[in-house]
Structures are given as C-alpha cells and as structure tokens.
Structure 1
Amino acid sequence: MVHSMTAFARRSQDADWGNLQLELRSVNQRYLDLHFRLPEALRDMEPTWRDQLRSRLARGKVECTLRFIPNAEGTSVTVNRHRLDELARALHEVRSLVPDATMPDALALLDHPGVIDTEETDIEQIKHAAQSLFAHALDDLIAGREREGEQLATLIRTRLAGIREQVDAIRIRLPTIIEGQRNQLLERLEAVRAELDPQRLESELTLMAQKADVDEELDRLATHVNEVERQLGQSGPVGRRLDFLMQELNREANTLSSKSVVADTTRSAVELKVLIEQMREQIQNIE
C-alpha cells in the first residue's frame, strides 16, 4: 500500500504534574531526516524515539516537538531552615570581616541554592506519559500518511488510464499513418519515378516506414504503465522506484514525439508528457 510522506499528528495529556503536548510533522524528503525539539529534562527520550521512527518510516523529513508545562499549583515550597542557618552564619562572618559589605535581601536569600526545597516531580512518571503520547502520535502519523497515500494512488491510476487511452489510440491509427506517409511519398515521386532506381525507391519507402513505426515505443510505454500499477500495490516504500519509472515513461514519450509524422501523434505525445508530469509531481510525496 502506498504511503505519503506528508502528515501531521498531535497528542496531549493533563496530569497532576502538568501538561504534555507532542506533535509530529512529516513532509517529503529524499531520505529519512529526523529533527527533535524536547525539554531538557526529557532530552534522553530522543535516542529511543529515533529508533522507533527509523523502524516504521523510510523517507520524509519528520519534526518531533514535545512541550512540558509543569503544574505550579501542585508544587509545595518550603524553606530549608538548616541551609538558611548556615547561610546566616556565613553572612555574619562576612559582616564581621567586611563591615561595609552589602548584605542580600530576603528574596536574594531565598534564591540561594538549597534554601528553598520544592517537591520533586516524578520525572519517570512524566517520561512514561511522554512515551505513551509518542507511540499514539506515531500511529496517527502513519495512519495519516496511509490515507493520503491512498488518495495519491487514486490520482496516479487515473493518469495511468489516460496514458493507456493515448497508447491505444495511437496503435489504432498507426497502420493508417504509415500507409498515408507511403502514399504521400509515392505521389511526390510519381513525376520522377522513371529516373529513380525501383530498388532504391523501395528501400527509401521501407526506411520511411521504420522511422514512422512507433510500435516498439508503445510497447515499452504499456510495459512501464503496468509496472507502475504493480508498484502501487506493493507493500513497503515504492517512491524511488516510481520516480525511476516516470523517467522511463518520459523517455518513451520524447521518442514518440521525435518520430511523429502527423499532428495526431504529436498531440498524443504532448498529452502523454502532461500525464507523466502530473504523476511525477504526485510521486514526489510518496514514501
């Protein structure tokens, strides 16, 4: 099944310790390119999440953003009296040695390391919640990439049907085109036929027919179209293979255009190029 590289997923959780918000964004990229923005306290989650992303995604630029807002109301604040007594004795000693020294105010004392004790939030509990959010968000992201991939596959199959129609139309007209070219050349040479070597004339007519015959190009176009259809039904990443097939389809369309001898074939070649380019644009988003 075809997967797109473009999707977005967001999960959040509220708890006594605060709020967690996790976002995953992915866009098209030639390779798998991972970027993380995590709170410092949860930075060590990154290696695990990298491994999980690599195990389930093959291509795309993926941005993972985790925000943590602690719950200030649920955090108790107490003064460490022992630490404050030690600091007061130290300040008294400084004042006895340097009487002119400026003493800190109460807020400065409270800001000193160790004077204020805060109830530590269980960081492992937050990490467990963050891992759960990430797992669900990753499932959502992959489901989104799958849904968009199905839409891309539908668009591509519509273009494949258009290519088949053009190929069939050229096949039907091809004998008439070749015969018309032969008759046209014979009419032009009728006036000087007596001066031409019949064997040479037949050779020129055969060469002209070979140049106008695009049956081989039509066969290759049909083969490539069938292979694109087959790839759309494969499991796993198929974007690079499809991109290569677009190059091959375009090559055959160019050859068909260069060998065109009538306006109908030229128009069909142009329409083929338009359809192929439309597919190529869609395939850029396929994993």
Structure 2
Amino acid sequence: MLQSMTGFAGGKGEAEGYSWAWELRSVNSKGLDLRFRVPDWIEGLEPQLRALSSKAVARGSMTLSLRVQRAEDVANLSLNTPTLDAVLSALAEVEKRAMDQGHTLSPSKATDVLAVRGVLDSSSGDGDSAALAKALVKAYPALLDSFVEMRKAEGAALEIVLLDQIAEIETLTGQAAEIAEGRKGEVAANLRANLARVLENADGADQDRVAQELAMLAVKSDVTEEIDRLKAHVDAARDLIKQGSPIGRKLDFLMQEFNREANTLCSKAQNVELTRVGLDLKAVIDQMREQVQNVE
C-alpha cells in the first residue's frame, strides 16, 4: 500500500503528575527530516522519540510539537515574575531591532509568553523527568499509529489517482502506436523522396557519409522504440505501485523517463495527429509527476 508524505495526528495524556498535548504532522520532503519541539528538561526523551519515528516513516518532513505542564488546576499556577519580566524585555528588544531593519513581526500572544520555560512555576520540571519520559515514550506509539494510518488513507486515495493516470498514459501510447502504424506508407514515401534527393547530390560524396545521412533520415521518422519504452514504463510503474511504499524516489525517476520518451516522440512525430497525442502524453505525465512528489 502506498503512503502519502502528508499526515497529521494529535492527542493528550497524563501521567506522573503531568498532563501533555502533542501534535504530529508531516509534508513533502526529498528525505526524512525530523523536527521535534519537546521540553529540553525531559532528559533522554527526544532520541527515543526519533528512533521510534524513524522505524515508522521513511520520507517526509515530520514535526512533533509537545506541550507539558503539571496536572493541577489553573488556579494553582503561579507566575515567575522575574523570568516573565526578562522574557518581555527580550521580546521588546527583538521587536525594536526588527522595526529598525524594516521588518514587521506578528504580535506576540500571551500563550507564546507562558510557553517559555520558567514563566509558569508549575512547568519548571522539578518532578521526576525520567519517569515522565518513560510515560511519554510508552504513549507515543499510539500517536504514531494514528499518524501512519492517516498517511496510509491519503496514500490509498493517491494510488487510485496514479493508476488512473497510468491507464491514460497506456491508452495514449496505444493511440500513438496505431497512428505510427497507419502512417508507415507516408513515411516510406517521404523516405524514398529524401533518398532520391540525397542520391542526386551524392556525386563525388563520401559513400560512408551518404550511408550515415540515409540512416539518420530513417531513424528520425521511426518512433517504434519510444512507444516500446513507454509501454515498458507503464508496466514498471504498475509493478512499483503494487510493491507499496517506500517507492517515491523510484517513481520520481520513472517519471523522468516517461517525460523523456514523450519529448522524443513529439520531436519525431512529423504528423499532426501524432504530435497531438504526444502533447497529451506530456500533459498527463506532468500531472502524474506532481502526484508522485507526495508518495513516500
């Protein structure tokens, strides 16, 4: 089954006197890019979460955001005034420097300030961070499973689109083959006319050079190889999709090969109908290539 590189999952939990909320999301990427925003006072947490993520996901730019606070009533929260003053002073300095350089920053929210470590005494991490880390690592696979399931659902929809596009490429390739077969008489007549012109001006010419020119005329009018390779690429694309993810890079390379054959077909066409089919092929291939960019 294919997996999309786009996914999202969120969840909440509590253990060891703490509550937490986390979000996991990903977008397209050439490789696997893990970006984790987790409290740095929970020792050893990030490496363990990264290891679990790397086993579940092969490609994508993946971001984990984790917010942790003590599991107690909001009324019991207390501000660390000196830390708050320092944060506000730093924010004012940042905004001033940005304005001096002609930049406009988005207004800071109270929640942004409260999220800074040390502003709220209840999130200072004085408890057992090792026990909390163990609880978070235990809870993380459920979040990861939900995330992967969404990527699979996106991938299933993507697979239907890709298979439809492959079928369209196959149909257009068949049309190109029929047109090429039907114009063999015309091509032969043109080749004979070109041959006559070459022979008329071949007095004193190098015979090897004349043979090369004739061979080039024949090659320029023959699209058999391009059609055969397009058919082979259609079969290869279907086989790859049957394998399931991770195949995104292989599919991306195959799309380059599709595009190369369609370009050559257009350049050799010398026929209005065949050129039309070649352009239709290029359009479908380009659409498919856009979809392939989201395949893991």
TM-score, length basis structure 1:
0.73
Alignment of 1:61-80 (within 5 A): 61-73=61-73
Which one of 276, 279, 282 corresponds to residue 291 of structure 2?
282
Residue matched to 2:10: 10
Residues 248-259 of structure 1 correspond to what in structure 2 (within 5 A)? Answer: 248-259=257-268
For structure 2, the residue ranges without an aligned partner over 5 or more in a row are 78-125
Q: Per-residue displacement from partner, 1:73-122 (whole Å, max 9, x unpaired)?
A: 49999xxxxxxxxxxxxxxxxxxxxxxxxxxxxxxxxxxxxxxxxxx755
- Match status 1:225 vs 2:234: yes
* Corresponding residue number in structure 2 for 1:167: 173
- Which of the pair has more CA radius of gyration? 1
Alpha-carbon spacing, 1:281–1:43, altered in 2? closer, same or farther (3 Å): farther
Q: Which shows bigger deviation, 19-28 or 171-180?
A: 171-180
Preserved contact between residue 252 and residue 289 of structure 2 (Cα < 8 Å): yes
Matched AA of 1:65: S
Q: Deviations over 1:197-224 (max 9, x none)?
A: 9xx9xx8998655422211110000001
Q: In the alignment, is residue 40 of structure 1 matched against residue 40 of structure 2?
A: yes
- 1:30-89 deviation line (CA, Å, top 9, x unaligned): 111111111233252101111111122111111111111223349999xxxxxxxxxxxx
RMSD: 3.2
- CA distance, structure 1, for counterparts of residue 194 and residue 264 of structure 2: 27
Q: How does 1:136-175 map to 2 (within 5 A)?
A: 136-175=142-181
Counterpart-to-counterpart distance in 2, 1:188 and 1:18: 85
Structure 1 pair 8/74, CA: closer, same or farther in 2 (3 Å)?
Answer: closer
Listed as ranges, the gaps of 5+ residues in structure 1 are 78-119
Q: CA deviation at 1:196?
A: 9.2
C-alpha distance in 2, partners of 1:34/1:76? 35
Which amino acid is the alignment partner of residue 234 of structure 1?
Q
CA contact (8 A) 1:20 1:69 kept: yes
Number of matched pairs: 239
SS where residue 180 of structure 2 aligns?
Answer: helix
Helix, strand or coil: the match of 2:161? helix
1:62 is paired with a residue whose SS is: strand
Letter in 1 for 2:235: N
Give me the whole-angstrom Cα distance separating, in 2, the residues matched to 1:55 and 1:18. Answer: 27
Name the CA distance, whole Å, in 1 between partners of 2:74 and 2:41. Answer: 18
Could you tell me whether the CA contact under 8 Å between 2:28 and 2:293 is conserved in 1? yes
Aligned-partner SS, 2:41: helix
- For the 8 Å contact 2:43–2:129, the answer to whether it is kept is no
CA distance in 2, matches of 1:188, 1:39: 76
